[in-house]
Amino acid sequence: KNQVEQSPQSLIILEGKNCTLQCNYTVSPFSNLRWYKQDTGRGPVSLTIMTFSENTKSNGRYTATLDADTKQSSLHITASQLSDSASYICVVSKRTNAGKSTFGDGTTLTVKP
Amino acid sequence: NAGVTQTPKFQVLKTGQSMTLQCAQDMNHEYMSWYRQDPGMGLRLIHYSVGAGITDQGEVPNGYNVSRSTTEDFPLRLLSAAPSQTSVYFCASTLTGTSVHEQYFGPGTRLTVT
Protein backbone atom coordinates (compact mmCIF):
# COMPACT_ATOMS: atom_id res chain seq x y z
CA LYS A 1 0.00 0.00 0.00
CA ASN A 2 1.27 3.47 -0.89
CA GLN A 3 1.97 5.41 2.25
CA VAL A 4 3.31 8.74 3.42
CA GLU A 5 4.61 8.91 6.97
CA GLN A 6 5.45 12.19 8.67
CA SER A 7 7.41 12.88 11.83
CA PRO A 8 7.24 14.24 14.38
CA GLN A 9 3.49 14.32 14.87
CA SER A 10 3.83 17.64 16.71
CA LEU A 11 6.60 20.04 17.54
CA ILE A 12 6.96 23.10 19.77
CA ILE A 13 9.81 25.55 19.19
CA LEU A 14 10.70 29.07 20.29
CA GLU A 15 10.41 31.97 17.91
CA GLY A 16 13.60 32.50 15.94
CA LYS A 17 14.72 28.87 16.12
CA ASN A 18 15.07 26.51 13.17
CA CYS A 19 13.31 23.18 12.77
CA THR A 20 13.15 20.24 10.38
CA LEU A 21 10.13 18.11 9.56
CA GLN A 22 10.45 14.65 8.03
CA CYS A 23 8.47 12.76 5.40
CA ASN A 24 9.05 9.14 4.32
CA TYR A 25 7.05 7.61 1.51
CA THR A 26 6.56 4.33 -0.31
CA VAL A 27 4.49 5.72 -3.20
CA SER A 28 5.66 4.26 -6.49
CA PRO A 29 6.15 5.07 -9.31
CA PHE A 30 7.01 8.50 -7.98
CA SER A 31 5.91 11.65 -9.79
CA ASN A 32 6.29 14.53 -7.38
CA LEU A 33 6.32 15.48 -3.70
CA ARG A 34 4.64 18.56 -2.34
CA TRP A 35 4.73 20.28 1.03
CA TYR A 36 1.67 22.22 2.14
CA LYS A 37 1.05 24.59 5.03
CA GLN A 38 -2.40 24.45 6.59
CA ASP A 39 -3.39 27.18 9.02
CA THR A 40 -6.14 26.32 11.51
CA GLY A 41 -9.54 26.50 9.84
CA ARG A 42 -8.10 27.03 6.35
CA GLY A 43 -7.36 24.94 3.31
CA PRO A 44 -3.80 23.73 2.60
CA VAL A 45 -1.54 26.09 0.68
CA SER A 46 1.37 24.86 -1.42
CA LEU A 47 4.91 25.63 -0.19
CA THR A 48 7.11 23.58 -2.54
CA ILE A 49 6.79 21.02 -5.31
CA MET A 50 9.66 18.69 -6.24
CA THR A 51 9.97 16.20 -9.07
CA PHE A 52 12.28 13.20 -9.26
CA SER A 53 15.23 15.20 -10.58
CA GLU A 54 15.13 17.91 -7.92
CA ASN A 55 16.75 17.46 -4.53
CA THR A 56 16.36 20.94 -3.03
CA LYS A 57 13.81 23.69 -3.42
CA SER A 58 13.36 26.86 -1.40
CA ASN A 59 10.46 29.19 -0.79
CA GLY A 60 11.60 32.03 1.44
CA ARG A 61 12.45 30.61 4.86
CA TYR A 62 11.19 27.15 3.81
CA THR A 63 13.63 24.70 2.21
CA ALA A 64 12.54 21.24 1.12
CA THR A 65 14.90 18.41 0.27
CA LEU A 66 14.20 15.17 -1.55
CA ASP A 67 16.17 11.93 -1.67
CA ALA A 68 14.33 9.82 -4.23
CA ASP A 69 16.65 6.86 -3.64
CA THR A 70 15.77 6.54 0.05
CA LYS A 71 12.25 7.97 -0.49
CA GLN A 72 12.72 10.65 2.12
CA SER A 73 11.99 14.36 2.19
CA SER A 74 12.47 17.06 4.77
CA LEU A 75 11.14 20.56 5.24
CA HIS A 76 13.49 22.96 7.01
CA ILE A 77 12.12 26.18 8.48
CA THR A 78 14.67 28.87 9.24
CA ALA A 79 14.30 31.63 11.82
CA SER A 80 10.77 30.61 12.75
CA GLN A 81 8.02 33.16 13.25
CA LEU A 82 4.78 32.99 15.21
CA SER A 83 2.91 32.84 11.88
CA ASP A 84 4.66 29.57 11.08
CA SER A 85 2.39 27.87 13.63
CA ALA A 86 0.36 25.50 11.45
CA SER A 87 0.09 21.94 10.22
CA TYR A 88 2.60 20.94 7.54
CA ILE A 89 1.46 18.23 5.17
CA CYS A 90 3.59 16.09 2.86
CA VAL A 91 1.83 14.85 -0.29
CA VAL A 92 3.16 12.43 -2.90
CA SER A 93 1.73 11.76 -6.36
CA LYS A 94 2.13 8.68 -8.51
CA ARG A 95 3.28 8.95 -12.09
CA THR A 96 0.44 6.71 -13.21
CA ASN A 97 -2.39 8.82 -11.73
CA ALA A 98 -1.68 12.51 -11.86
CA GLY A 99 -4.13 13.87 -9.36
CA LYS A 100 -4.73 10.95 -7.00
CA SER A 101 -2.25 11.92 -4.35
CA THR A 102 -1.36 10.28 -1.04
CA PHE A 103 -1.42 12.59 1.96
CA GLY A 104 0.56 12.33 5.17
CA ASP A 105 -1.20 13.04 8.46
CA GLY A 106 0.83 16.22 8.93
CA THR A 107 3.12 17.69 11.56
CA THR A 108 1.60 20.30 13.86
CA LEU A 109 4.13 23.05 14.53
CA THR A 110 3.67 25.53 17.37
CA VAL A 111 6.01 28.51 17.55
CA LYS A 112 6.05 30.20 20.95
CA PRO A 113 7.33 33.69 21.74
CA ASN B 1 -9.11 34.70 -10.41
CA ALA B 2 -11.14 33.53 -7.41
CA GLY B 3 -9.37 30.15 -7.40
CA VAL B 4 -11.40 27.41 -5.69
CA THR B 5 -14.56 28.50 -3.91
CA GLN B 6 -16.73 26.41 -1.58
CA THR B 7 -20.16 27.03 -0.12
CA PRO B 8 -21.43 26.94 2.53
CA LYS B 9 -18.62 27.62 4.99
CA PHE B 10 -20.52 26.03 7.88
CA GLN B 11 -23.49 23.65 7.96
CA VAL B 12 -25.39 21.74 10.63
CA LEU B 13 -27.56 18.83 9.55
CA LYS B 14 -29.76 16.37 11.35
CA THR B 15 -29.26 12.64 10.82
CA GLY B 16 -31.00 11.55 7.64
CA GLN B 17 -31.06 14.95 5.95
CA SER B 18 -29.47 15.44 2.56
CA MET B 19 -27.51 18.37 1.22
CA THR B 20 -25.10 19.44 -1.49
CA LEU B 21 -21.71 21.03 -0.89
CA GLN B 22 -20.80 23.34 -3.73
CA CYS B 23 -17.35 23.69 -5.27
CA ALA B 24 -16.30 25.84 -8.20
CA GLN B 25 -12.98 26.77 -9.80
CA ASP B 26 -12.16 29.37 -12.44
CA MET B 27 -8.71 28.10 -13.46
CA ASN B 28 -9.96 25.73 -16.19
CA HIS B 29 -8.43 22.74 -14.40
CA GLU B 30 -9.56 19.36 -15.63
CA TYR B 31 -8.94 17.49 -12.38
CA MET B 32 -11.04 18.15 -9.29
CA SER B 33 -11.39 16.23 -6.05
CA TRP B 34 -13.15 16.16 -2.70
CA TYR B 35 -11.47 15.35 0.61
CA ARG B 36 -12.60 15.08 4.18
CA GLN B 37 -10.40 15.91 7.13
CA ASP B 38 -11.24 14.59 10.57
CA PRO B 39 -9.59 16.06 13.69
CA GLY B 40 -5.92 15.13 13.95
CA MET B 41 -6.00 13.18 10.72
CA GLY B 42 -4.82 13.68 7.19
CA LEU B 43 -7.01 14.44 4.20
CA ARG B 44 -8.80 11.44 2.74
CA LEU B 45 -10.02 11.35 -0.84
CA ILE B 46 -13.79 10.91 -1.26
CA HIS B 47 -14.35 11.28 -5.02
CA TYR B 48 -12.46 12.78 -7.90
CA SER B 49 -13.05 13.78 -11.50
CA VAL B 50 -10.57 13.87 -14.38
CA GLY B 51 -12.86 16.00 -16.52
CA ALA B 52 -16.44 16.94 -17.27
CA GLY B 53 -18.66 13.85 -17.31
CA ILE B 54 -16.07 11.61 -15.65
CA THR B 55 -15.99 10.79 -11.94
CA ASP B 56 -14.45 8.05 -9.84
CA GLN B 57 -14.35 6.89 -6.25
CA GLY B 58 -11.57 7.68 -3.86
CA GLU B 59 -10.64 6.15 -0.52
CA VAL B 60 -13.88 6.87 1.41
CA PRO B 61 -16.77 7.23 -1.09
CA ASN B 62 -19.64 5.62 0.85
CA GLY B 63 -22.53 7.98 1.60
CA TYR B 64 -21.45 10.56 -0.99
CA ASN B 65 -22.32 11.19 -4.64
CA VAL B 66 -20.71 13.52 -7.15
CA SER B 67 -21.33 14.70 -10.67
CA ARG B 68 -19.30 16.85 -13.06
CA SER B 69 -21.47 18.46 -15.73
CA THR B 70 -19.06 21.36 -16.35
CA THR B 71 -15.32 21.91 -15.98
CA GLU B 72 -15.95 24.60 -13.37
CA ASP B 73 -18.30 22.88 -10.92
CA PHE B 74 -17.95 19.73 -8.84
CA PRO B 75 -20.72 19.40 -6.23
CA LEU B 76 -20.65 16.78 -3.46
CA ARG B 77 -23.96 15.33 -2.31
CA LEU B 78 -24.66 13.74 1.03
CA LEU B 79 -27.60 11.42 0.48
CA SER B 80 -28.60 10.71 4.09
CA ALA B 81 -26.34 12.43 6.59
CA ALA B 82 -24.88 10.43 9.47
CA PRO B 83 -22.93 11.63 12.54
CA SER B 84 -19.86 9.84 11.12
CA GLN B 85 -19.88 12.40 8.31
CA THR B 86 -19.14 15.23 10.70
CA SER B 87 -15.91 16.60 9.29
CA VAL B 88 -14.30 19.42 7.36
CA TYR B 89 -14.66 19.01 3.61
CA PHE B 90 -12.13 20.40 1.16
CA CYS B 91 -12.48 20.67 -2.58
CA ALA B 92 -9.35 20.90 -4.73
CA SER B 93 -8.52 21.41 -8.36
CA THR B 94 -5.31 20.24 -9.95
CA LEU B 95 -3.24 21.57 -12.82
CA THR B 96 -2.31 18.49 -14.82
CA GLY B 97 -0.59 17.99 -18.16
CA THR B 98 2.80 18.98 -16.81
CA SER B 99 5.44 17.16 -14.78
CA VAL B 100 4.10 18.60 -11.56
CA HIS B 101 0.56 18.60 -10.28
CA GLU B 102 -0.06 21.83 -8.45
CA GLN B 103 -3.15 21.33 -6.33
CA TYR B 104 -5.26 24.26 -5.18
CA PHE B 105 -7.61 23.87 -2.22
CA GLY B 106 -10.77 25.68 -1.33
CA PRO B 107 -11.34 27.17 2.15
CA GLY B 108 -13.36 24.19 3.36
CA THR B 109 -16.89 23.47 4.59
CA ARG B 110 -17.26 22.54 8.24
CA LEU B 111 -20.14 20.08 8.53
CA THR B 112 -21.74 18.90 11.77
CA VAL B 113 -24.33 16.11 11.75
CA THR B 114 -26.36 15.74 14.93
B107 CB burial (10 A radius; 0-12, 13-18, 19+): middle
pLDDT for the residue A1: 61
Residue B33, pLDDT > 80, answer yes
Please say if the pLDDT value at position B95 is more than 70. yes
Name the nearest CA neighbour of B74 among B83, B65, B82, B84.
B65
Does the CB of B105 have a partner CB in chain A at under 8 Å? yes
Contact B102 A46 (CB under 8 A): yes
> At B103, is the pLDDT very low, low, confident or very high (cuts 50, 70, 90)?
confident
What pLDDT sits at residue A95? 76
B54 touches chain A (CB under 8 A): no
Reported as a single tens digit per residue, the pLDDT across A22-43 is: 999 998 888 889 999 999 989 9
Q: Identify the pLDDT of residue A27.
A: 86
| Residue B78, beta-bridge partner list | B19, B64
SS3 A24: strand
Q: Which range, of A26-40, A66-80, B90-104, averages the lowest pLDDT?
A: B90-104
Q: Which is more confident, A99 or B4?
A: B4
CB of A89 within 8 A of CB of A102?
no
Mutate to test the interface with B, among A103, A105, A107, A108 (most CBs of B within 10 A): A103
CA distance B76 to chain A (A): 17
Cβ pair B99:A103 closer than 8 A = no
Contact A20, A109 (CB under 8 A): no
pLDDT at residue B96 is higher than 90: no
- Between A and B, how many residue pairs show a Cβ–Cβ distance under 8 A? 62
- Asked if A99 contacts B50 with a C-beta cutoff of 8 angstroms, the reply is yes
What DSSP assignment string belongs to A25-73?
E--SSEEEEEEEEE-TTS--EEEEEEETT--EEEETTEEEEEETTTTEE
